[in-house]
């Protein structure tokens, strides 16, 4: 039995039914059947006047167990989900002849919130998290959420919450009338019990959400809202259908009544949960959860140490972005610079960063000053004595970095963690003049760091387990998804991304149109094409990155000559309004016909003929020719033991490169081809265009054995 519910009847005549499926009180067929049984049981009990539904241990319910979707393809749950939605949620729970109130603490997601929506009232704590998050798994709310949420909060807000899988806290839920009252955790059950009795005594309304109409827009207005929602989702994500299916189901309820639409919803859920989109998204969900499981460390159950004060060393854009991110997460920040002028400039830049952010968030001047007040600029190490973490982001000078780390050991307390942001030198070299290798790691924020939700933690064999745990916890506090990898000549996840960009440059140098490449990749699902991406990174930064990358990892590397040509004529990317694209005052990018001239020059320089075969290259081939080298590099990373699981690179590709999550990540996607196919393509291209495409040993081996590239058990042995 997977989970159940428990009933307790109080002297006040209120039965409290608690969902009991630790740790998150996920819903399962067993939980739902037990809920039905217990509601029916309490309905016939004479000593029960009203019912409260809650979750044990301060968690209402994190929703239905998604292992029932996608990953267990073909295996149906014991009873169809439609049965549960209509027979249990609607005909038993909502139709109960005794008032039913939900007491929500912790979280109410997906099916969990949908149970609460079917109750006659909802009381929540102010910090509870509520949301219909189903679309993030390629399905739609399947327990009546498509019908009840619009009727409780109005169509525009419901669409926003459902289509974006948006979570709101109790306070916001109250302001939306999604919950009826807020109560502190220790009084929650008491308030909910009294509310249920008040409904019985007609002191509070007995609301059946499914038939509530006052918040619903009139049909014509509703149709206009739905139409623009359709256009929006089609534009944002033309490759997936589930948001459109969801909108259709919502509309069906408004047009032909909610009861009929519940059946439509159930049918749609059955269909969507078998889709490849659902399988891929569920894979990414679990892969993301696996990321923080570090073999050999997680079992130690170490508790993370608190990090309150962080020092950032070094100038430049990156360090000011890092410092601003830290301040916005309420860390005290010490910023160390070489001289007064640089320090002044940097502090000025950080204030600008904060101002942008706080303005965007419509927060006030007071908040800005308070946040800025957490920053202290210094020129020496005296303030480092009580710092918990140092992030070194100095220029790429080994001697300078070694000196900094030697000073850190001298001035900081013994538990302070030292990290470098460098991608050039190995951590071993950077820490050579210290005796504290166990406290040294690398943190890599992805560009642009305030936006990218991903963070790499790079460790050596000497980095202590406690430091890893502390940094994972720090990453989460920074609202980033942290991935732990081994030190690999400065590059781990980035090598996959750089290879992807190199493949695009190589292809255009051989004759494929720049803008066709970008379009092929955006149609595939990347948020930007590779050339728009290079423009955004900036050609100077990209060229520098390529130089270091090629020096450190010469195997199958590529020298993107075109970048140098463009730099020589001052085309630096979005920053100076011209790169592969032209940019207007509002940073809107448009293709520039002049690019073809520079391409011709580069081809002359490289002495490569314009390959006529590539002239009318189909989009599908472009995608393969750009993404297969990245898969090849990812396989190299796996075989070197840089990551623990191949699925780690799926998450890395989704969060760090923008690979579409509905394709499951780069390695997961590779499984939609036979490994032999990938191998033979790489082999052919390597003959035609050089070693850049040469399949690595892992791909060669797997292809010869007819094995998938995804094989968590047999992937490369971890170096750690
Ligand atoms: C029919 C309905 O309409 C369909 C649905 O209900 S779809 C489901 C909707 N629910 C959700 O979206 C909630 C997804 N979960 C989360 O966001 C987060 O787990 C959470 C915020 C609830 C808790 O986060 P946190 O405390 O960090 O715990 P976390 O490590 O994520 O999860 C604990 C365990 O539960 C698992 N888990 C979490 N949610 C799950 C779910 N919905 N299904 C299956 N397993 C789930 C995790 O994989 C993890 O398993 P593990 O310990 O074996 O690795």
Looking at the chain, the whole-number percentage of residues with pLDDT higher than 70 is 96
User: Residue 216 above 50 pLDDT?
Assistant: yes
Q: Which of 487, 509, 531 is the last residue of a domain?
A: 487
Q: By C-alpha distance, which of 487, 400, 494 is closest to 445?
A: 494
Report strand pairing: 168-169 vs 14-20. Answer: unpaired
* Position 714 confidence tier, pLDDT thresholds 50, 70, 90: very low
Q: Which of 487, 518, 542 is the last residue of a domain?
A: 487
Statement to judge: residues 120 and 219 lie in one domain: yes
Marked catalytic residue, from 94, 134, 321, 509: 134
Could you tell which of 23, 66, 482 is best to mutate to test the pocket of ligand 1, judged by most ligand atoms within 8 Å of the CB? Answer: 66
Order of strands across the sheet with 454-459?
A: 375-378, 332-336, 309-313, 389-392, 417-420, 440-445, 454-459, 481-486
β-bridge partners, 334: 311, 376
60 Cβ closer than 6 Å to some ligand 1 atom: no
Cα–Cα dist 389/673, whole Å: 44
Contact 489, 474 (CB under 8 A): no
The answer to whether position 287 is within a domain reads no
**Four-CA torsion 161, 167, 170, 173, nearest 10 degrees:** 0
Report how far apart the first and last C-alpha atoms of the chain are (Å, whole number). 38
When pLDDT is averaged across residues 63-72 and rounded to a whole number, the result is 75
509 Cβ closer than 6 Å to some ligand 1 atom: no
Contact 186, 221 (CB under 8 A): no
Token pair for residue 556?
A: 């199958």
Lowest mean pLDDT among 229-233, 234-238, 381-385, 603-607: 603-607
* Position 363 confidence tier, pLDDT thresholds 50, 70, 90: low
Contact 336, 382 (CB under 8 A): no
Nearest residue (by CA) to ligand 1, atom 22, is 62
When pLDDT is averaged across residues 247-262 and rounded to a whole number, the result is 96
User: Residue 607 above 60 pLDDT?
Assistant: yes
Structure-model confidence comparison of residues 203 and 713, the more confident one? 203
Statement to judge: residues 320 and 469 lie in one domain: yes
Nearest residue (by CA) to ligand 1, atom 26, is 24
Cα–Cα dist 600/565, whole Å: 11
CA 180 to chain centre: 31
Q: By C-alpha distance, which of 490, 502, 483 is closest to 628?
A: 502
How many CA atoms does the CB half-sphere of 130 hold within 13 Å? 31
How far from 536 is each of 259, 472, 499, 527, 697, CA to CA, in Å?
Answer: 49, 28, 17, 12, 33
| Interacting residues of 350 by C-beta distance below 8 A, sequence separation 6+ | 320, 323, 324, 327, 335, 372, 375
pLDDT, one tens digit per residue, over 506-542 is 999 998 999 999 999 999 999 999 999 999 989 998 9
Token pair for residue 639?
A: 């075989």
Could you tell which of 28, 55, 63 is best to mutate to test the pocket of ligand 1, judged by most ligand atoms within 8 Å of the CB? Answer: 63
Distance 295 CA to ligand 1 centre (A): 21
Nearest residue (by CA) to ligand 1, atom 30, is 289
When pLDDT is averaged across residues 372-379 and rounded to a whole number, the result is 96
For 357-410, list the strands marked E by DSSP: 375-378, 389-392
Residue 393 belongs to domain spanning: 305-487
| Interacting residues of 508 by C-beta distance below 8 A, sequence separation 6+ | 514, 517, 531, 562, 599
Crossing angle, helix 145-153 and helix 111-118, to 10 degrees? Answer: 60
**What is the number of helices (H) and of strands (E) in the chain?**
29, 19
Contact 108, 129 (CB under 8 A): yes
Cα–Cα dist 140/143, whole Å: 9
Distance 62 CA to ligand 1 centre (A): 6
Statement to judge: residues 605 and 681 lie in one domain: yes
3-state secondary structure of 226: helix
The answer to whether position 291 is within a domain reads no
65 Cβ closer than 6 Å to some ligand 1 atom: yes
Cα–Cα dist 547/560, whole Å: 10
* Position 446 confidence tier, pLDDT thresholds 50, 70, 90: confident
Statement to judge: residues 464 and 581 lie in one domain: no
The answer to whether position 683 is within a domain reads yes
Statement to judge: residues 639 and 705 lie in one domain: yes
Q: What region does 300 belong to: left with phi over 0, alpha with psi -120 to 50, or beta?
A: alpha
Report whether the peptide linkage leading into residue 448 is cis, meaning its omega lies within 30 degrees of zero.
yes
β-bridge partners, 233: none
Q: By C-alpha distance, which of 123, 121, 125 is closest to 206?
A: 121
Helices (H), 329-376: 340-360, 365-372
User: Residue 315 above 80 pLDDT?
Assistant: no
pLDDT, one tens digit per residue, over 642-681 is 999 999 999 999 999 999 999 999 999 999 999 999 999 9
Statement to judge: residues 247 and 311 lie in one domain: no
What pLDDT is attached to residue 50? 98
Q: Which of 251, 274, 297 is the last residue of a domain?
A: 274
Angle subtended at Cα 238 by Cα 237 and Cα 239, rounded to the nearest 5 degrees: 95
Contact 92, 115 (CB under 8 A): no
579 Cβ closer than 6 Å to some ligand 1 atom: no
Statement to judge: residues 560 and 674 lie in one domain: yes
pTM, two decimals, is 0.92
Distance 607 CA to ligand 1 centre (A): 55
What pLDDT is attached to residue 248? 98
Distance 647 CA to ligand 1 centre (A): 18
The answer to whether position 286 is within a domain reads no
The answer to whether position 202 is within a domain reads yes
Marked catalytic residue, from 105, 114, 265, 509: 114
What pLDDT is attached to residue 80? 67
Per-residue DSSP letter, 578? B
The answer to whether position 279 is within a domain reads no
When pLDDT is averaged across residues 419-425 and rounded to a whole number, the result is 84
The answer to whether position 232 is within a domain reads yes
When pLDDT is averaged across residues 217-225 and rounded to a whole number, the result is 95
CATH of the domain at 410: 3.40.50.720
Residue 311: phi and psi, rounded to 5, are -105, 140
Statement to judge: residues 331 and 391 lie in one domain: yes
User: Residue 335 above 50 pLDDT?
Assistant: yes
| DSSP one-letter string for 57-113 | GG--B--B-GGGSGGGTT---SS-HHHIIIIIIIIIIIT-SS-EEEEE-SEEETHHH
Statement to judge: residues 499 and 469 lie in one domain: no
The answer to whether position 125 is within a domain reads yes
Residue 218: phi and psi, rounded to 5, are -60, 155
Statement to judge: residues 90 and 179 lie in one domain: yes
When pLDDT is averaged across residues 352-374 and rounded to a whole number, the result is 80
Statement to judge: residues 318 and 266 lie in one domain: no
User: Residue 71 above 70 pLDDT?
Assistant: no
| DSSP one-letter string for 239-305 | T--HHHHHHHHHHHHHHH-HHHHHHHHHHHHHHHTTSHHHHHHHHHHHHHHHTT--TTTGGG-PPPP
Distance 149 CA to ligand 1 centre (A): 21
What pLDDT is attached to residue 487? 87
Cα–Cα dist 309/600, whole Å: 53
* Position 1 confidence tier, pLDDT thresholds 50, 70, 90: confident
Distance 134 CA to ligand 1 centre (A): 11
Could you tell which of 23, 289, 304, 473 is best to mutate to test the pocket of ligand 1, judged by most ligand atoms within 8 Å of the CB? Answer: 289
Nearest residue (by CA) to ligand 1, atom 49, is 289
CATH of the domain at 506: 1.10.1040.50
CA of 66, closest atom in ligand 1: 43
Distance 301 CA to ligand 1 centre (A): 20
User: Residue 554 above 90 pLDDT?
Assistant: no
115 Cβ closer than 6 Å to some ligand 1 atom: no
How far from 217 is each of 156, 226, 232, 248, 603, CA to CA, in Å?
Answer: 9, 11, 19, 16, 60
What pLDDT is attached to residue 715? 40
Task: Provide the domain count of the chain.
Answer: 3
When pLDDT is averaged across residues 454-472 and rounded to a whole number, the result is 94
The interface predicted TM-score of the complex, written ipTM, equals 0.98
CATH of the domain at 196: 3.90.226.10
Statement to judge: residues 549 and 696 lie in one domain: yes
Could you tell which of 25, 62, 250, 290 is best to mutate to test the pocket of ligand 1, judged by most ligand atoms within 8 Å of the CB? Answer: 62
Specify whether 114 is catalytic. yes
Structure-model confidence comparison of residues 243 and 711, the more confident one? 243
Q: By C-alpha distance, which of 293, 380, 319, 405 is closest to 648?
A: 293
Let me know if 716 is exposed, middle or buried by CB neighbors in 10 A (0-12, 13-18, 19+): middle
Cα–Cα dist 524/81, whole Å: 32
């Amino acid at each position: 039995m997977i989970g159940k519910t428990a009933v307790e009847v109080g002297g006040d005549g209120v039965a409290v039914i608690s969902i009991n499926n630790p740790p998150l009180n996920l819903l399962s067929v067993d939980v739902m059947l037990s809920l039905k049984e217990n509601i029916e049981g309490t309905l016939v009990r004479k000593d029960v006047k009203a019912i409260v539904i809650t979750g044990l241990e301060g968690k209402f319910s994190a929703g239905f167990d998604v292992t029932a979707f996608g990953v267990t393809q073909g295996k149906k749950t014991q009873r169809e989900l439609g049965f549960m939605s209509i027979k249990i949620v609607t005909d038993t729970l909502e139709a109960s002849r005794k008032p039913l109130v939900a007491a929500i603490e912790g979280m109410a997601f997906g099916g969990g919130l949908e149970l609460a929506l079917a109750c006659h009232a909802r009381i929540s704590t102010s910090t509870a998290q509520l949301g219909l998050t189903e679309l993030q798994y390629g399905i739609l709310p399947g327990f009546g959420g498509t019908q009840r949420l619009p009727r409780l909060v109005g169509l525009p807000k419901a669409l926003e919450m459902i289509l974006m899988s948006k979570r709101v806290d109790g306070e916001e839920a109250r302001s939306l009338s999604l919950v009826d009252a807020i109560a502190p955790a220790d009084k929650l059950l008491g308030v909910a019990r009294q509310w249920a009795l008040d409904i019985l005594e007609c002191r509070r309304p007995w609301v059946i959400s499914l038939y509530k109409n006052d918040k619903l827009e009139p049909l014509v207005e509703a149709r206009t809202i739905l139409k623009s929602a359709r256009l929006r989702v089609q534009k944002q994500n033309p490759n997936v259908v589930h948001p459109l299916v969801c909108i259709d189901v919502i509309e069906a309820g408004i047009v032909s009544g909610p009861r009929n639409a519940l059946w439509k919803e159930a049918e749609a859920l059955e269909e969507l949960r078998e889709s490849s989109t659902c399988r891929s998204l569920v894979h990414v969900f679990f892969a993301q959860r696996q990321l923080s499981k570090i073999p050999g460390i997680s079992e130690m159950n170490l508790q993370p140490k608190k990090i309150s004060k962080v020092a950032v060393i070094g100038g430049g854009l990156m360090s000011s972005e890092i410092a601003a991110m830290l301040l916005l997460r309420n860390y005290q920040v010490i910023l160390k610079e070489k001289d007064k002028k640089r320090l002044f400039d940097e502090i000025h830049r950080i204030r600008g960063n904060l101002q942008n952010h706080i303005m965007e968030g419509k927060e006030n001047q007071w908040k800005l000053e308070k946040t800025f007040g957490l920053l202290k600029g210094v020129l020496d190490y005296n303030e480092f004595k009580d710092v918990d973490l140092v992030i070194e982001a100095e220029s790429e000078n080994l001697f300078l970095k070694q000196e900094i780390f030697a000073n850190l050991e001298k001035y900081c307390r013994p538990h302070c963690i030292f990290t470098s942001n460098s991608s050039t030198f190995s951590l071993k070299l950077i820490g050579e003049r210290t005796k504290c290798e166990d406290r040294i790691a690398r943190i890599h924020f992805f560009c642009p760091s305030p936006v990218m939700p991903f963070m790499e933690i790079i460790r050596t064999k000497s980095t202590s387990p406690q430091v890893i745990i502390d940094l994972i916890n720090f990453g989460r506090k920074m609202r980033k998804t942290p991935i732990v990898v081994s030190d690999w000549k400065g590059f781990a996840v980035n090598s996959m991304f750089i290879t992807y960009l190199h493949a695009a440059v190589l292809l255009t140098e051989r004759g494929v149109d720049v803008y066709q490449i970008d379009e092929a990749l955006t149609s595939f699902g990347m948020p930007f094409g590779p050339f728009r991406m290079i423009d955004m990174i900036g050609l100077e930064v990209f060229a520098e990155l390529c130089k270091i990358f090629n020096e450190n990892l010469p195997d199958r590397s590529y020298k993107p000559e075109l970048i140098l040509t463009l730099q020589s004529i001052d085309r630096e990317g979005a920053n100076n309004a011209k790169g592969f694209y032209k940019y207007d005052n509002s940073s809107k990018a448009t293709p520039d016909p002049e690019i073809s001239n520079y391409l011709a020059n580069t081809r002359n320089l490289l002495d490569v003929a314009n390959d006529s075969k590539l002239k009318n290259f189909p989009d599908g081939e472009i995608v393969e020719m750009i993404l297969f080298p990245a898969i090849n590099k990812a396989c190299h990373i796996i075989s070197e033991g840089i990551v623990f699981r191949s699925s780690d690179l799926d998450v890395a590709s989704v969060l760090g490169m923008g690979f579409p999550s509905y394709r499951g990540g780069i390695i997961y996607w590779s499984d939609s081809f036979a490994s032999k196919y990938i191998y033979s393509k790489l082999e052919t291209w390597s003959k035609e265009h050089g070693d850049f495409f040469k399949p690595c040993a892992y791909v060669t081996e797997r292809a010869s054995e007819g094995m998938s590239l995804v094989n968590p058990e047999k992937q490369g042995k971890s170096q750690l």
